[in-house]
Copies of this chain bind each other. A is one copy, B any other.
């Protein structure tokens, strides 16, 4: 950990504070850093943007990808004021940054009313046992789209 890392984490924490002060959303902030420069920033905007996916990490990842004009974050670091939830971890694995630094832990978040443990549990359950009913429907018709994809000569993989 370098003094740079501390400075970047403090910016993520500052974004979280600003989001709380201005009623943008929950107490979370995140930044994306590439070559020692901040290329994406965000605070949680769930309640102000009416967007359940607008967690700080998602907001920062989207902004950084726009900046890079690319859908991945190779050689980037993410600094987030709190350990990412399963949705944000999924976004992070798709974005493929090199490293993630987090401030609070998910236990700290749970103690403040942001408990994401139920999502970790749900993801491990068989589909039939999940709290939100999930059913398979028209699989053979849906499979045809994958055939289209596989036969598409100019497909852009990711």
Check if A39 is an interface residue, CB within 8 A of chain B: no
Chain A: residues with Cβ within 8 Å of the partner, total of: 94
Answer whether A1 and B133 are a contact pair too, CB < 8 Å, given A66-B50, A93-B119, A123-B123.
no
Check if A152 is an interface residue, CB within 8 A of chain B: yes
Within 8 A of B (CB), among A101-133: 101-105, 108-109, 111-113, 118-120, 122-124, 127, 132-133
Answer whether A16 and B145 are a contact pair too, CB < 8 Å, given A91-B53, A133-B100.
yes
Check if A9 is an interface residue, CB within 8 A of chain B: yes
Return the CB mask of A12-51 against B: 1 if under 8 Å, else 0.
Answer: 0100110011010111110000000000000000110111
Task: Say how far A144's CB is from chain B's closest CB, in angstroms.
Answer: 8
Q: List 19 A-B contacts (CB under 8 A).
A: A10-B141, A27-B145, A27-B146, A29-B145, A50-B68, A50-B71, A51-B65, A52-B94, A52-B95, A83-B136, A85-B90, A86-B93, A87-B91, A100-B133, A101-B134, A101-B136, A102-B135, A113-B150, A120-B123
